Structure 1
Amino acid sequence: MTNDSEVRSRPLTSYVSRTDDEDEVRRLLGAGRLVTLTGAGGVGKTRLAAQVASSLTRAFPGGVAVAGLSELRDERLVARTVADALGLHDTAGRTDLEAVVSYLRPRRSLLLLDNCEHLLDGSADLVTALLRDCPDLVVLATSRCSLGLAGEHVLAIPPLGVPDEEVGTPREAFTFGAVRLFAERAANVLPAFEVTESNVADVVRLCRRLDGLPLAIELAAARIRALSPSQIADRVESNSGVLATGLRMPVERHRTLRATIEWSHSLCTETERVVWARCSVFAGQFDLSAAEDVCAGAGLDSLAVLDAVDGLVDKSVLARIDGTDRVHYRMLRLLREFGGHRLAESGDELAVARKHRDHYAWLIDQAAATWFGPGQDEAYERLTAAHADIREALSWSLRTPGEGAVALGMAVGVIEYWVARGAAWELRDWIDRALEAMPPETRGRARGLAVAALCAALHADLPGARQRLAAAEAIEDDDAAPYIAHACAFVRMLSAEPNTMVRAAEAVRLFGERGDVRRQMHPMFIQGVALAYRGDLPGARELLGSMLRTCEEAGEYRYRSMALYGLGVVEVCFGGDDDDGERFIRSALEIDLRTSDMMSAAYRLDGLAWVSARREEWVRAAELFGTAATLWDRCNAEPDVAVTTIHRMFHGATRNALGAKKFDLAFAEGRRRNPHDALAGPEALAAGEPADLPPLTPRESEIARLVAAGLSNRDIAARLVIARRTVETHLQHISHKLDFANRTQLAVWVEQRDRGPL
């Protein structure tokens, strides 16, 4: 349930305990519904909040969500970021705020809203609405200043404790958090480092001089490979009068942090300083290719950028984030602000920002080129990792004169990505804003209007879709013709108007003439269903079968699922074979659960309920409707696009056959089941669930068994329909309970418990 925020880039395993502060935060959360942790940047608010939040999962059965705002520079996206953290898809007729409220209103949940200070108005407006409309919600916020709301409990977070000067032994010194943090970070850099009788006085002197500020201590500890604690303390003291001018922190300890950042900057090579400044344009995490594209030039080649990135990681200016296939980097917001000030002073700000935008425009082009094929999953993952910077690149283009057309091209490049994220409404907003920023005669306008119409139709906003289609058709632009035909076909299908098949076939033909196979797929699906609707079942089977074969030959999955679902719908709903229909829909569901496409999975589960209803297996149908409803709720959606009539028909028939009481009982049973159970069939469900594994909770037992089965955190998240961060939190709790250091130990333990005594 979390967003990729700074919470994620700083693992809780390296957290230095602040027991008193943690206890006070928990007490305040029990006493009120809004607690804001305030304090200077770098004081440790985020880590403290994350530690407390992760310890309260049992107290909030509705979930603990973490939404990090540090990547945002646009007030409009605050509610969307919280929706992302909750895993919500945007839906017809609802704003992002309405979607969040609808999801949280019936749940006792904790929302951690991290780094609010630069978006105070948007954060305050969001929290006000959530607390007003969600009676069991509690909000924990972090900010350099309070939100200024009624009922807010404000807790100023002090720096870590520091020893008195007379503390003379390592044992005494280690009772203070600042010393423990320095020792841990220094040992990460230089494993042989220890706090000893001979250096403890210098470590204490350094921690005192840095006022116990965690970020300052980390920056100082990063120098331990080249300098002793005594030398670092001397350097800090000799540079105490040097203040960074770009950071507004008026009190003395804030000046200490400014001085430490400035000192760290002064110890960088000239190339590292340049790369630090240029990397400040990144809003989120970025990989080496992005750093090279943005930072190279003006005397720096790619190799120099690589060396500088390595040096900045070594100095703790950049945090390294290990991924499954590539390393990413992230800069803490305070260091990013410092670098941004230096970039502005250099006069290179506009050129570097343009390079940043061009890199992410290229990334979208690459994703579009590889989406329809075996590289689809990688393309989706790369776009997901870059999402904050795609937003920043779009925003920069919209606020920079003459760049609106580039923003439009980026927005319409891979609409499948935005739909898969559940963010079609956000995409529609970017397109509309780009169209407003462009002169009326700009080439590509008609195409943009047609895609905006398609997005409006996805939200069942048919008047908005027709308005945009009319504007697109009024522009004479042959390049836009297939996009207009596609959007028109979709609108007509949703409104059951004539000529749906004709316009869909036109779009398929025109995209085919351009060799654009990817964009043929959705109109081909529409055409196939329209053929079945007109009574041509053989024609529908042939066309959707051709779509399926095209996807299989290309190694593509998401449109393959759509083709399978289409084949299932025409069999089940238009007089075909129920067994074939079930087989097709089950195959589509397998793909959706593997790719974590919960919205599509909800449609597929609904389709399996139709099959059971057709067979008059009424209890099974009601259970499947219940399981589908869990996913509709998870996506904050309803089956109100494309399948409204069919859903209502089978749902109503099932309820009438069982009666309200029996239907509700079966529906509730289905709600309790995992979507994967639908693939197992009723026979497997009758066998019952395996017993819990004491001392683990039922959910922890479930996750432990999936680890033992060899599933990754990502696979477990997809299977259980939860966020990957939630899986990681459960695994932390399991490791603490069992004192295990790795997954292998856990797997062996699970196997022994399930096997039982010999």
Structure 2
Amino acid sequence: METMAVTRAFGLDGERTSLIGRRAETARIARLLAGARLVTLSGVGGVGKTRLALRVAANAARSAFPDGVYVVELADLRDPELLAPSVLGTLDVAPAGHPGVDATAVLADWLRERRALLVLDNCEHLLDTCARLTDALLRAAPGLRVLATSRQPLGIAGEQVFSVEPLPVPDAAAGHDVRALSGNPAVALFADRAAAVLTGFALTASDAPAVAELVRRLDGLPFAIELAAARVRSLTPQEILERLTDRFALLTGGSRVAAERQRTLRALIDWSHELCTPGERLLWARASVFRGGFDLEGLERVCTDAELPPAAALDALDALVARSIVNCRQDSGRSRYHMLETVREYGLERLAASGSLDVLRGRHRDRYAELTAGAGQEWFGPRQVDWFTRLRLDHPNLRAALEFCLERPGQARAGLALAVSPRHYWITAGLLPEGRRWLSQLLAADHTQDDGADAAGPDAAVRVQAQVTDTYLGILQGAPDVDVQRALAACEAAARQGGHQRELAWVWHHHGILAIWREDFASAAGLFARADTEFRAQGCLDAAFECRVKFAIAHAYGGEVAAADEACGEVEAAARAHHESWLYGMALLARALLAWRAGTPDDAIAQARAAIARLRPFHDWWDVAMCVEVIAWSTQDTPRRAARLLGVLRLLWESLGGRLASAPFMRAQHLRFETAVRKALPAAAFDREFDRGARATVDEAMAYVLDDAAGVPGLTRRESQVAELVAEGLTNKDIAARLTIAQRTAENHVERILGKLGFTSRTQLAVWTYERRDEPAGN
């Protein structure tokens, strides 16, 4: 009678802790292993490669490998000559360890007719030897599969590399709802491990913000999260977060039975550092001055010199990517690199110890001064959205450069130049509070007096430009009128003293904004026309047309239809001629106001939505909010929708971080509209719809404003949008730009979609999406 074979498992101890948040990865690795004879799990230390490999092996041990699953732990093995004998020992094959025996030949002979899985765990320090042994065994034994874990691939023919990423972390803008956060894998891991050391620990509303920020700061790295959770014995999550400034001192206390390098976070990263060559270590340290990532051009500009020439830096970068120290993402033919914050901080420590920190930070500042200056020069043109996207992508680096200017004596004026170019960035990016904070701090740190000796010089012009920009950001945040008037008077005096006509024109523009807010539309139009004339004389076409479109908005709201229509046409023609987007969106907003004034609500809604499509890629929530005002006013006949749009407006205005609840010149109409909607609905119904709008995410709110269609079954609305864009052939970077979300968020969406649908490639997703388009409605 035939009996069912039972797979033998060697080295697979029972799991002592649960594996959290890795179900999709486990399934994908199992599928890879079914089709490839060598699968290597690569990734930075502490990301969880070993746990994943052991889970896959344990699942496979139940049925797939009748001749056994064998796990060989190599972390403590130092002598390459002992690799094959160690594998023999795990397989319990004689004559292991006897002098003169060719252990590789014995292994090959023993495995030749067997269907087995060999797990080689922690290969990175024996990479060449592991590669040679694996290649020899796979050639000799056709039924053998090898699953390896290593901080870099083995690099042999037929190898399938699976990059193990950190756990997804909560989006910083997603709020702190306990139920939603509990479903996040990184948060769930922290809570699980914290409960193991502190009986009764559970995520609460008071702890949730600290835990969410903690796992974000730890990059979703499982090992670091587990070490942090162990501190719950004596510290609250908030106290752990506050002490994370020295994460290497805080995150200690790993398992006493683990290898020495797996007991503390520093020891884990030390191990990766020891495996690097001197050139790789040098680049690791230097590249740590970047925050949030960098491109090849930035790397060469900041990190190369006679000690590390560009060619050597490129080789070192390639090696660091292979070793999982640096991550590389490629989109639209361009590569972008980043380090986990834990890895970056380690490199920054090394850079400081070398005495080169200030030199590299200075180079880094110069790089981003060049970048922002280039963005300012090309803002009014076809690359406008590209420049904005690039600046948003490099925003952490911009912050680092501004910090350097603020911290180092004599650098404040350079920081002001960095902060005001391009002028529109802080406004269109929805970063008013941050932009104003940088400008005010840098202005305070800049002790240069604008006396007659240098009042007319280019250096003094930077300070005046910063004063004028800071004042405008204050206006947009709703600063008190008395403060604004005082600041504008000071700006005008400084501009006149130095003969800075461009900045004087901006002062007139700012007075025009205040006049609109007082609903003095005729005075506002006159001020914009005056500024427009001066900007044209200075050759500043973008500023001139900005004044022209605001002239149009003033007259559109004030009722001068012919003048507004003419100005809109001029701006639209200029925007088309220069392939510009932002001013075109503003002109469409003016046309939406004209349509609303004319009593054609459908046209007003269509124009406002078209304006949002132009403005949204810039994250220009100020002007998007004005578009939503027009859309809301045009839906008064559907009061439930109108109430929800009022909630969306609350969300948008609060996101700007100011005192405003609507654009000041729209306030009276906003209040009249809200009163009418409240009268049209029972109080409970109004509050319910208003709260739904106010508590939505920005993505959800915009989907409602634009009346996006519902998503496909099984996927959220956003996931459905992402699936459609993948089917169109867009990369993750392109998807992020199209939907105005972070690239990492786009990547997470794609991964979740693949996991939900059981797919392993974007091609499969694209085919599935096209097939669904052809299905009859209702299927």
Place the TM-score, normalised by the shorter chain, in its bin.
Answer: 0.5 to 0.7
Aligned residue for 1:329, secondary structure, equals strand
Structure 2 counterpart of 1:456 = 474
Q: Which residue of 2 aligns with 1:268?
A: 278
1:393 Cα offset (Å): 0.9
CA distance in 2, matches of 1:299, 1:136: 43
1:477 matches 2:498: yes
Task: Look up the match of 1:65.
Answer: 170
From 480, 484, 487, the counterpart of 1:465? 484
What is the 5 A alignment of 1:567-646? 567-573=591-597, 575=598, 578=601, 580-593=603-616, 597=620, 600-613=623-636, 616=637, 618=639, 621-622=642-643, 624-625=645-646, 628=649, 639-642=661-664, 643-646=666-669
Give the letter for the 2:261 counterpart. D
| 1:503-582 mapped onto 2 (5 Å cutoff) | 503-532=527-556, 535-573=559-597, 575=598, 578=601, 580-582=603-605
> Which residue number in structure 1 is paired with residue 449 of structure 2?
440
SS of 2:170's equivalent? strand
The residue aligned with 2:517 is: 494
The 5-angstrom pairing of residues 200-215 of structure 1 reads 208=259, 211-212=261-262
AA matched with 1:359? R
User: Counterparts of 1:657 and 1:679 in 2: how far apart (Å)?
Assistant: 23
Mapping for residues 141-540 of structure 1, pairs under 5 Å: 141=215, 142=218, 150=236, 208=259, 211-212=261-262, 256-257=267-268, 260=271, 263-265=274-276, 267-269=277-279, 272-298=280-306, 301-333=309-341, 335-337=343-345, 339-340=347-348, 343-344=351-352, 347-438=355-446, 439-441=448-450, 443-444=460-461, 445-462=463-480, 463-475=482-494, 476-479=497-500, 480-496=503-519, 499-532=523-556, 535-540=559-564
Q: Give unmatched runs, 5+ long, in structure 1.
A: 1-8, 23-43, 45-49, 55-63, 67-84, 88-102, 117-129, 164-207, 214-252
Taking a change above 3 Å as real, the CA distance of residues 550 and 273 of structure 1, as seen in their structure-2 partners, is same
Pick closer, same or farther for the CA change 1:255–1:290 going to 2, 3 Å.
Answer: closer
In the TM superposition, residue 556 of structure 1 has moved relative to its aligned partner by 1.2
Query: One-letter code of the match for 1:503?
Result: L
1:699 Cα offset (Å):
6.6
8 A Cα contact 2:644 2:692, kept in partner: yes
Q: Distance in 2 between matches of 1:501 and 1:612?
A: 29
Aligned amino acid, residue 170 of structure 2: A
SS of the residue corresponding to residue 377 of structure 1 reads helix
- Report the equivalent of 1:94: none
Do the aligned partners of 1:603 and 1:639 also contact (CA within 8 Å) in 2?
no
For 1:429, what is the secondary structure of its paired residue?
A: helix
> CA offset at residue 156 of structure 1?
6.7
Q: Closer, same or farther in 2 for the Cα pair 1:659/1:404, shift >3 Å?
A: same
Partner of 1:119: none
Query: Which deviates more, 433-442 or 701-710?
Result: 701-710
Please report how far the alpha carbon of residue 486 of structure 1 lies from its aligned counterpart in structure 2 after TM superposition. 2.1
Secondary structure, counterpart of 1:383 in structure 2: helix
Cα distance change of structure 1 residues 698 and 489 upon mapping to structure 2, 3 Å threshold:
closer
Normalized against structure 2, the TM-score is what?
A: 0.62
Identify unmatched segments of 5+ residues in structure 2. 1-41, 56-148, 150-163, 191-203, 219-223, 241-249, 451-458
Deviates more, 1:712-721 or 1:414-423: 712-721
Identify the match of residue 679 of structure 2 among 653, 656, 662.
656
**Which AA in structure 2 matches 1:640?**
S
Which letter maps to 1:732?
E
Measured after TM superposition, the shift of residue 411 of structure 1 is 0.7
Larger radius of gyration: 2
2:650 touches 2:661 (CA, 8 Å); kept in 1?
no
| Partner deviation per Cα, 1:579-618 (whole Å, 9 max, x = no partner) | 65444223212324566655543432321222334xx565
**Does residue 692 of the first structure (1) align with residue 682 of the second (2)?**
no
Q: Which has the higher contact order (CA 8 A, sep 6+)?
A: 1
TM value normalised by structure 1: 0.64
- Relative distance call for 1:13 and 1:315 in structure 2 (3 A) is closer
- Residues of 2 paired with 1:138 and 1:300: CA distance? 39
> Could you say what the CA RMSD is over the residues aligned between the two structures, in angstroms?
4.6
Q: Is the 8 A contact 2:646 2:693 kept in 1?
A: yes
Specify whether residues 134 and 317 from structure 1 end up closer, same or farther in structure 2 by C-alpha distance, changes over 3 A only.
closer
Q: CA deviation at 1:719?
A: 7.9
- Alignment partners' CA distance in 2, 1:324 and 1:730: 19
Letter in 1 for 2:593: V
How many aligned residue pairs are there?
571
Distance 1:317 1:562 in 2: 44
- Give the aligned residue type for 2:390: R
Q: SS of the residue aligned with 2:261?
A: coil
Residue 242 of structure 1 is matched in structure 2 by none
Distance 1:741 1:496, change over 3 A: same
| Residue number in structure 2 paired with 1:97 | none
| Distance (Å, rounded) in 2 between the aligned partners of 1:448 and 1:255 | 42
**Pair 12,484 (structure 1): closer, same or farther in 2 beyond 3 Å:** farther
The offset of 1:562, in angstroms, is 1.2
Could you tell me how far apart the structure 1 residues matched to 2:643 and 2:550 are? 28
Describe the superposition over 1:423-478 as per-residue Cα deviations: whole angstroms up to 9, x where unpaired: 11111111111111212326132221111110001111134433322222232232
Question: Secondary structure of 1:474's match?
Answer: helix
State the one-letter code of the partner of 1:16: K
> Displacement of 1:373 after TM fit?
1.4
